[in-house]
Structures are given as structure tokens and as C-alpha cells.
């Protein structure tokens, strides 16, 4: 990206966008934006910008040098560990300040302060979810640990050192667009950021949707549509693993079945919540299966695609540890990466740790609620919501034994319309010190250190993968998981007594894990952790496809190389299509098809089952399958209360393969009984019309149809990368969708001298006027990787070092 032409175009484009979208942003005056002395022009960065500096800060106890390589990746060498965190905070702020600021405002329910009234609904919802309450609780726990407090203090001081160095002209461009300035950083903002990640990864629930489904369908139909276990499940911990008797046996109240399956739906609008595809792939293969004889660890977390990226690449080297990998701007430590001894990565655990309870208040004052045969006093929290250029709004939130009353007649979030009261019980409200796991992993030297580290991860629960130079590999489905009875938390529950409350947490010695398994690899792709023999209820909905194909591939591979692992991470094979295309083709009634439909059937027949960039078959299949699913289910779901959860994708595919007379093939609105061929025929004809329009628009190739983009945080086209030619999709290992996908790809071979590769869809510099703003995207799109350079102290004269920043006291 060339900065000067870009920034001119961006300035003009942005100005018009702001003028035409005054409800979206609160802009600075146009004259200020275009001021040569202080405006957007000051953010244009010359291509040959010199990042070298000598900086002095009294907070530092020793010397720290930062060597920036040709990709603007910093390699921090600090004499004192906490000085390294100071410098990490400084660099995060220098290159990602607006991103950090906006993320914590969003987390705190304060986005309206930045962007105006359009964010008020979001802010109320986050306050009522208890995001600030959760961060306050976490901060107390974090700061009760002197080591973590010192780490956070140093990081915060570094962020503020950079903020305090800013002038009007050097403010990040987004502040100029919005007419705002950054506020001081704090340890509380670190806690807020970590809770934002908890919401992204452990905030997805379907309680209201499932409540409506169970109120509408019979128990038999409900179990067909939302099965407890998928036929094709290949769990994280292999089938046949023997589990000990549980230490906790959660008991369902006698009223559970009769309560869950009666006509008591929840009237609501469609819900807005975290992306259900926030997931990831990770695996580690033993040296027994690699060409080098050393383990290889791989990880690619699937998150929203934004500019700047959620990740910032970095090396931190101190006398006590030396770690490299992806960091979070807004938090100290390396989050996913490796050190001199081992590598570590994460995928989302995906279990339901957020449940809703209906509360019965005594009267409209909400001062008391009924619980365990008595009226209990409510606690109140008055939330003050400041809005840019608007009067302050106050919202009084009731807190119960379950947690905050998120929805009531004072706030329904545009969602609930039955004026009932629903409290939310969320594991993220409990005390936790989730930063500790990352700090300990940065220092880890062996499996024992890994074990000691990951048990500190409470929420969001994760599948923590590990590999070590001594040959060990492991995975642990780590988190504080509620010990639930079958079905608990799938639906909205009564809050009038303790019978539906969580009865405890699964003991840490009963959390499923694998250590050096005989099959020579461990892996996870957000699938269900275990088969049905595990003694605790783990919920219903988990993705199946990625875990299934990854395990098949890894089981068949030998003499594995890092290049093969890169190819596997970027693989576009569509395993669901491999199961469904033969079924579709077998059930086609050729005589009923016209020439237009036959043309697309021919494309489907010749398709190689890969969702590659130029594949037309991938688009044809996608349209046919979605039409097929629609025709199978639309008649039953048309009259169902909203919102409602559609059946899991695996449900329809498995049912079709298992039962050609699947009851939902019949359209209940017609006198005749429809069959599988009827559904295929309807899907083909409807898809052909859709595909003709797509083809006329020149978008029949998969990448053009899918249209992947990496949007800027403010959704400004001039600051975004649009129409990216990349394959993949929801159920492929390369899980790249429109605005979501592999946010950091990493492959680490733990040979004597570590061989590591990585890439993310962004760039190191958050300034849109810098050539480093989006400099990794083209490599990421092409499925290529950068060699990750774990620099040593004797390599300061290496040609890869382009700039040096010296920090001293």
C-alpha cells in the first residue's frame, strides 16, 4: 500500500462517508481533518520511515533494546523482565493504540462515548451482561498475585508512556476522524480486554432459541433435530477412552423433563451475539511421525478478520524466558507461540458456561425476588452511560444470586418482548486470573510446567495444545466447566430456587486430556471433547467436519514436514460435500431438469470437492445444499416462535445418509408425502435460478462468490481490504468465510534449532497510512508463511535488523 496516494484517497473517501453517515460517527470538523499541520496528512508515513530511536523512561530498571526486522516485528531484549512488559505496552500503544482503546471501550459498554448514540443499545447490553462487574472481579484476583500485578503495572506504564508522548499531529488517524483523544491506560483495561475475549469465545448461547424449539416440537422431533451426539463425531479425546467415576454426580430436579417439554416458549426478536464460528484448529504430532524426529505443533485460531488484526507479532527475551509469537494489543505476554523449549496453542472449548434464569420480583420496585421460599433483597448497580454530544443515560441493573438481570421491562435489548425478568449466570463473572496461564507458558520448559500453567485458565475454556523439544505432546480441554446434568442450561431455567443452579465445577483431575498418545498426535477443532461415556454433560452443539478431516489426515501421514503442515492448515477439501454430492447426484430426476439446471449439475459432477479460489463447483454445491436444507426444514420452522435454532448442519447430512425416509423430507403443507428425490429436485431448480444471477454478475468462482474481506475497525472501505481471492469455508480446515477465518497461522517444528512459520491477515502497524498496515494480507491469502525469526543476542548486526529502539532509565 502506497501511503501518500492512499491517504489522500482515504481522506476524501472518509470525509464523504462521515458526511453521509452522520448517525454512525461523531466526526471532527472537515477542516481539522485536512489540516496540513495536524490532520490526516500527518499520519502519512514515508515508505523509508526510520523507526530507530533512543528513549529514556525513569520507570525502567535497566536497559532494553528492540530490534525491528524488515516486517516491523519487534525483538525485545531486556535486562529486567518487567522492563520487557513496559516496552511491550509501549510498542502495542505505538502501533495499535486506537484498536486497544476502542476494544476496551466496547468491553466496558462505553462505545457510545467514542461513536455516539448508535452504540447505546450495545453499551446497555454489555453493562447488563456484567462485563464491567466481571472485569472488576478479575482485576482483584489478578492484582492479588504480586507477580501478575507487577507485570500489569509495567505494561500499563509502558502504554501510558506512549500516550503521554503524543501531540495533536501525531494522534492516530481514527482519533482525528472522530474528534477524540485517548485516555490513560490502566490494569483495569487489561482485565476488560480479557473479558472481551471471554465474551467472544465463551459468550455464545442458544438458551432462548432452544427454549422456543422445545416448546414447539415434540420431544421425539426435538431429539431428531438437535441430537446429543453426532454420528460422525471424532472427539478430541478418542472414542473408547476409559473415564473414572465422577466425583460430582449432578442431579436434575424431578420437574426438569416436564418443565422443559411443555408449551412455554420465549417471545423474542433475533438475538445478536458472538459469532458461533469463533473457533480454531490445533494439533501436535509426535516425532515418531515427523521427518525430523521432532514434534511439530500447529495452530490457527478462527476469529473476526479486522484491520488492524487482533494479533501483533513479537519476540520477548529476558534472562528468565525467551518467547515468540502472537500477542494481544491490550495485554502483556505472548499468547500463542513458542519459547526455547516448547510450543503452545489454543482452540475454543465451546462449552456452554452462560445460562439464563427467570426471576420473580415481588413488585415493580425489584427490591426483592423470590428464592428458596423467601423474598431476598436485590442488589442494584447504577450504570452511567455517557454518549458523545448527548445527555447522560442512567440504567439501574438488578443483581441476584444468579447474576445480573440482563433483560427486564426496563431493557429488553430489542430482543425480549414478553416483559419477563431474566438473570444471567456466566462463568466469566467469577474470580479468575487468566493472564497467569500465558505468563507461565512463556516460561515453561516441560510438560510439568505446561500442566501447572494451563490449570489456571478458567474462562474462556480452551483446548490447550503443547509440544516440547524432549518429545512430549499433549492436549487438555481446560477450563472451569460447570458439572451439569443432561440438558441443564440448554434452555431458560426457573430462578425461584436452587434446584436448577450449577452444583459444582468438574474437578481438574477429571478434565479430559491426552499425553503422548499411541496414535502419535493430538488435535482439536472445536468438536465435542469426548464420546458419550464421559460422565458429565457437555452440551449438544459442536462442529464436526474440521475435526473429522484433520484426524483422518494426521492418522494417515508419516514422515511429516513443516511444509506439509502448512498445506494441511490451508486445505480447502470439503468433507461435507464429499458425503452429500453422491446423495444429490443419486437422487436427481434427469427427466425433470431443463438445460439450465443440467448445466449446473454438470459442473457439480466434475467438481473435485475443493473450495478453491476459482472453483465453480464449490459455488454450485453451496447454493444447492442451502436450498436443499431450506426445503427440508422451512415448512416445520415457518410457524415456530422466534428466535429459534435451526438444526445443526451435521444433523441433516447424517440423517440423509442414515435414513432416506427422514421424516422432515415430507412437506407438512401438502397432501402428498415428499421424498428425498423431491427435495433434491426442488433444491436443484431453485439453485439454478440463483446461480444464473450469480453467473451473470461474474461471481460464479468461489472466491468471488464468498467475497472475503478484512474490514477496518470503523468499517471504512478506504481503510479495509476487500474482495480477497482466497478459498476455504465454514466446514473446511481453511475456515475462511466472508469476514471470519484463520487469524494467525503458526507451524512450529521443535528441532534442536526451532523451525517456525507464521502469518496473519494484517500488518504490524495500525496506521492506515503505513505500508506495514496490511503488508501480510497477500501472503496470507496465497497460503504462504513467513519464517519466524527467534533472534539471538549475537545477531544484532544481522541484515534482517532494520531499526533499533533503545530504552533506558
- Residues in the chain, how many? 809
How far apart, in whole angstroms, are the C-alpha atoms of residue 673 and residue 683? 17
How far apart, in whole angstroms, are the C-alpha atoms of residue 399 and residue 380? 6
Helix/strand/coil for 173: helix
Name which of 103, 105, 63, 67 is nearest 86 in CA terms. 63
- pLDDT-wise least confident of 286-290, 324-328, 397-401, 483-487: 483-487
Q: Which residues pair with 756 in a beta bridge?
A: 748
**pLDDT band for position 3 (cuts 50, 70, 90):** very low
**pLDDT band for position 335 (cuts 50, 70, 90):** very high
Mean pLDDT (the chain) is 92
**pLDDT band for position 413 (cuts 50, 70, 90):** low
Radius of gyration of the CA atoms of the chain, in A: 27
Q: pLDDT value at position 409? A: 86
- The secondary structure of 752-803, three-state, reads CCCEEEEECCCCCCCCCCCCCCCCCHHHHHCCCCEECCCCCHHHCCCCCEEE
Residue 135: how many other CB atoms lie within 10 Å = 25
- pLDDT-wise least confident of 23-37, 195-209, 408-422, 487-501: 23-37
**pLDDT band for position 259 (cuts 50, 70, 90):** low
Query: What percent of the chain lies above the pLDDT cut of 70?
Result: 91
Per-residue pLDDT tens for 532-557? Answer: 999 999 999 899 999 999 999 999 99
Per-residue pLDDT tens for 626-677? Answer: 999 999 999 999 999 988 999 988 999 999 999 999 999 999 999 999 999 9
- Cell matching residue 496: 425461584
Mean per-residue pLDDT for 287-314? 97
How far apart, in whole angstroms, are the C-alpha atoms of residue 33 and residue 12? 10
Residue 60: exposed, middle, or buried by beta-carbon count in 10 A (0-12, 13-18, 19+)? buried
The continuous run of DSSP H or E covering 376 comes out as: strand 374-377
Strand ranges (E), 570-720:
708-712
pLDDT at 40 over 70: no
Q: Give the chain's domains with CATH numbers.
A: 575-700 (1.10.1400)
How far apart, in whole angstroms, are the C-alpha atoms of residue 551 and residue 238? 10
Mean per-residue pLDDT for 465-488? 97
Per-residue pLDDT tens for 347-393? Answer: 999 999 999 999 999 999 999 999 999 999 999 999 999 998 899 99
- Cell matching residue 484: 451439569
Per-residue pLDDT tens for 766-790? Answer: 999 999 999 999 999 999 999 999 9
Query: What percent of the chain lies above the pLDDT cut of 90?
Result: 85
Per-residue pLDDT tens for 69-112? Answer: 999 999 999 999 999 999 999 999 999 999 999 999 999 999 99
Helix/strand/coil for 615: coil
**pLDDT band for position 270 (cuts 50, 70, 90):** low
> Are residues 103 and 122 in contact, defined by beta-carbon separation less than 8 angstroms?
no
How far apart, in whole angstroms, are the C-alpha atoms of residue 422 and residue 177? 39
> Are residues 413 and 407 in contact, defined by beta-carbon separation less than 8 angstroms?
yes
Mean per-residue pLDDT for 606-626? 98
Q: pLDDT value at position 42? A: 56
First-to-final CA distance of the chain: 37
Name which of 639, 647, 644, 541 is nearest 270 in CA terms. 644
Residue 496: exposed, middle, or buried by beta-carbon count in 10 A (0-12, 13-18, 19+)? middle
How far apart, in whole angstroms, are the C-alpha atoms of residue 697 and residue 108? 43
Q: pLDDT value at position 23? A: 36
Q: pLDDT value at position 525? A: 98
Per-residue pLDDT tens for 102-150? Answer: 999 999 999 999 989 999 999 999 999 999 999 999 999 999 999 999 9
- Cell matching residue 165: 508522548
Q: pLDDT value at position 412? A: 75
HSE, side-chain direction, 13 A CA sphere, residue 527: 30
Q: pLDDT value at position 204? A: 82
pLDDT at 13 over 90: no
pTM of the model: 0.94
How far apart, in whole angstroms, are the C-alpha atoms of residue 211 and residue 730? 26
How far apart, in whole angstroms, are the C-alpha atoms of residue 135 and residue 216? 38
**pLDDT band for position 12 (cuts 50, 70, 90):** very low
> Are residues 322 and 340 in contact, defined by beta-carbon separation less than 8 angstroms?
yes
Mean per-residue pLDDT for 165-183? 93
Mean per-residue pLDDT for 32-53? 67
Helix/strand/coil for 735: coil
Q: pLDDT value at position 598? A: 97
Amino acid at each position: 500500500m502506497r501511503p501518500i496516494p492512499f491517504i489522500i484517497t482515504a481522506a476524501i473517501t472518509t470525509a464523504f462517508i462521515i458526511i453521509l453517515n452522520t448517525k454512525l460517527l461523531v466526526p471532527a470538523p472537515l477542516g481539522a481533518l485536512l489540516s496540513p499541520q495536524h490532520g490526516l496528512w500527518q499520519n502519512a508515513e514515508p515508505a523509508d520511515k526510520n523507526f530507530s530511536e533512543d528513549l529514556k523512561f525513569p520507570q525502567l530498571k535497566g536497559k532494553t533494546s528492540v530490534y525491528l526486522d524488515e516486517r516491523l516485528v519487534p525483538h525485545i531484549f531486556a535486562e529486567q523482565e518487567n522492563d520487557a512488559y513496559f516496552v511491550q505496552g509501549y510498542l502495542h500503544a505505538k502501533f495499535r493504540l486506537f484498536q486497544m482503546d476502542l476494544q476496551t471501550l466496547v468491553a466496558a459498554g462505553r462505545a457510545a462515548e467514542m461513536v455516539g448514540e448508535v452504540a447505546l443499545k450495545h453499551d446497555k447490553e454489555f453493562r447488563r451482561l456484567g462485563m464491567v462487574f466481571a472485569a472488576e472481579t478479575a482485576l482483584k484476583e489478578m492484582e492479588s498475585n504480586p507477580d501478575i500485578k507487577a507485570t500489569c503495572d509495567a505494561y500499563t506504564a509502558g502504554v501510558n508512556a506512549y500516550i503521554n508522548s503524543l501531540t495533536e499531529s501525531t494522534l492516530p488517524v481514527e482519533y482525528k476522524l472522530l474528534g477524540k483523544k485517548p485516555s490513560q491506560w490502566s490494569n483495569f483495561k487489561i482485565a476488560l480486554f480479557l473479558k472481551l475475549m471471554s465474551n467472544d469465545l465463551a459468550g455464545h448461547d442458544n438458551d432462548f432459541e432452544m427454549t422456543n424449539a422445545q416448546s414447539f416440537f415434540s420431544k421425539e422431533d426435538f431429539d431428531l433435530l438437535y441430537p446429543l451426539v453426532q454420528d460422525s463425531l471424532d472427539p478430541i479425546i478418542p472414542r473408547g477412552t476409559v473415564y473414572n467415576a465422577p466425583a460430582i454426580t449432578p442431579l436434575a430436579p424431578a420437574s426438569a423433563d416436564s418443565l422443559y417439554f411443555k408449551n412455554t416458549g420465549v417471545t423474542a426478536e433475533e438475538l445478536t451475539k458472538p459469532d458461533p464460528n469463533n473457533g480454531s484448529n490445533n494439533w501436535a504430532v509426535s516425532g515418531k511421525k515427523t521427518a525430523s524426529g521432532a514434534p511439530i505443533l500447529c495452530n490457527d485460531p478462527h476469529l473476526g478478520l479486522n484491520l488492524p488484526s487482533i494479533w501483533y507479532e513479537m519476540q520477548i527475551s529476558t534472562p528468565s524466558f525467551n518467547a515468540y509469537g502472537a500477542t494481544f494489543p491490550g495485554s502483556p505476554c505472548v499468547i500463542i507461540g513458542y519459547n526455547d523449549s516448547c510450543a503452545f496453542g489454543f482452540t475454543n472449548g465451546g462449552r456452554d458456561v452462560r445460562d439464563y434464569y427467570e426471576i420473580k420480583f415481588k413488585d415493580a420496585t425489584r427490591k426483592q425476588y423470590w428464592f428458596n421460599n423467601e423474598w431476598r433483597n436485590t442488589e442494584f448497580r447504577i450504570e452511567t452511560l455517557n454518549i458523545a454530544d448527548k445527555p447522560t443515560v442512567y440504567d439501574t441493573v438488578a443483581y441476584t444470586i444468579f447474576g445480573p438481570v440482563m433483560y427486564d421491562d426496563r431493557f429488553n435489548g430489542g430482543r425480549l418482548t414478553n416483559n419477563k425478568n431474566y438473570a444471567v449466570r456466566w462463568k466469566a463473572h467469577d474470580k479468575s486470573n487468566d493472564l497467569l496461564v500465558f505468563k507461565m507458558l512463556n516460561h515453561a520448559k516441560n510438560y510439568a510446567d505446561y500442566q501447572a500453567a494451563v490449570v489456571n485458565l478458567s474462562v474462556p475454556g480452551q483446548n490447550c495444545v503443547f509440544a516440547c523439544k524432549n518429545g512430549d505432546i499433549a492436549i487438555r480441554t481446560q477450563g472451569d466447566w460447570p458439572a451439569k446434568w443432561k440438558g441443564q442450561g440448554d434452555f431458560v431455567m426457573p430462578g425461584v430456587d436452587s434446584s436448577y443452579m450449577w452444583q459444582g465445577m468438574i474437578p481438574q483431575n477429571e478434565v479430559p486430556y491426552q499425553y503422548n498418545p499411541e496414535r502419535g498426535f493430538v488435535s482439536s477443532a472445536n468438536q465435542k471433547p469426548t464420546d458419550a461415556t464421559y460422565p458429565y454433560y457437555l452440551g449438544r452443539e459442536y462442529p464436526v467436519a474440521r475435526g473429522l478431516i484433520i484426524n483422518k489426515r494426521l492418522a494417515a501421514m508419516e514422515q511429516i514436514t513443516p511444509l506439509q503442515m502448512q498445506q494441511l492448515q490451508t486445505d480447502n477439501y470439503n468433507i461435507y460435500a464429499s458425503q452429500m454430492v453422491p446423495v444429490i447426484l443419486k437422487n436427481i430426476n434427469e427427466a425433470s431438469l431443463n438445460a439450465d439446471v443440467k448445466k449446473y449439475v454438470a459442473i457439480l459432477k466434475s467438481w473435485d470437492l475443493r473450495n478453491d479460489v476459482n472453483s465453480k463447483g464449490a459455488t454450485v454445491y453451496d447454493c444447492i445444499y442451502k436450498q436443499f436444507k431450506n426445503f427440508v426444514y422451512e415448512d416445520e420452522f415457518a410457524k415456530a416462535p422466534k428466535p429459534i435454532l435451526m438444526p445443526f448442519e451435521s444433523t441433516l447430512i447424517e440423517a440423509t445418509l442414515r435414513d432416506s425416509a427422514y421424516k422432515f423430507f415430507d412437506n407438512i403443507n401438502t397432501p402428498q408425502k415428499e421424498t428425498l428425490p423431491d427435495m433434491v429436485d426442488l433444491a436443484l431448480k431453485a439453485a439454478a435460478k440463483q446461480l444464473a444471477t450469480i453467473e451473470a454478475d461474474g461471481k460464479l468462482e468461489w472466491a468471488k462468490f464468498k467475497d472475503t474481506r478484512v474490514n477496518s475497525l470503523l468499517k471504512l472501505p478506504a481503510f479495509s481490504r476487500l474482495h480477497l481471492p482466497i478459498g476455504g469455508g465454514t466446514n473446511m480446515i481453511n475456515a475462511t468465510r466472508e469476514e471470519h477465518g484463520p487469524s494467525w497461522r503458526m507451524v512450529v517444528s521443535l528441532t534442536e534449532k526451532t523451525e517456525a512459520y507464521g502469518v496473519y491477515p494484517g500488518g504490524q502497524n495500525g496506521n492506515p497510512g503505513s505500508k506495514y498496515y496490511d503488508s501480510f494480507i497477500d501472503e496470507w491469502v496465497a497460503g504462504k508463511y513467513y519464517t519466524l525469526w527467534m533472534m539471538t543476542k549475537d545477531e544484532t548486526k544481522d541484515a534482517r535488523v532494520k531499526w533499533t529502539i533503545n530504552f533506558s532509565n
